[in-house]
Amino acid sequence: MAELEELLQVATDMLDRAYTPYSHFHVGAAAVGASGKIYGGCNIENAAYGVTNCAERTAIFSGIAAGEKRFTALLVTGNTEGAIAPCGSCRQVISEFFDQDAVIYLTNQKGALAETTVAGLLPGAFLELK
């Protein structure tokens, strides 16, 4: 449970760093690299919506930029009514850098928690690298 609490704290801290001048919808994420290091991410919007980046991908890409190749867990949080879940693009990125049985925590700032796996998020993923 210590890992879950630490991931939630990192992801919650990321909410304040989100750049969301259009949607005002802040999302925070925390990804655990195979090294054990935790990488935080927030969503970053842009007037050209196609280049907006979700919190999950920001966390994963930060880890990759730091030298990680694989990740073991991910937590996503936001100020939503229920547990927040990754978009389809994020699910595809997650499936490429996490094992299919890696744990994914879907939370919100009100205490909701759902636990799933990469396979549960994206059954029949487009590409699975080992």
Supply the residues annotated as catalytic.
56
CB 43 within 8 A of CB 27: yes
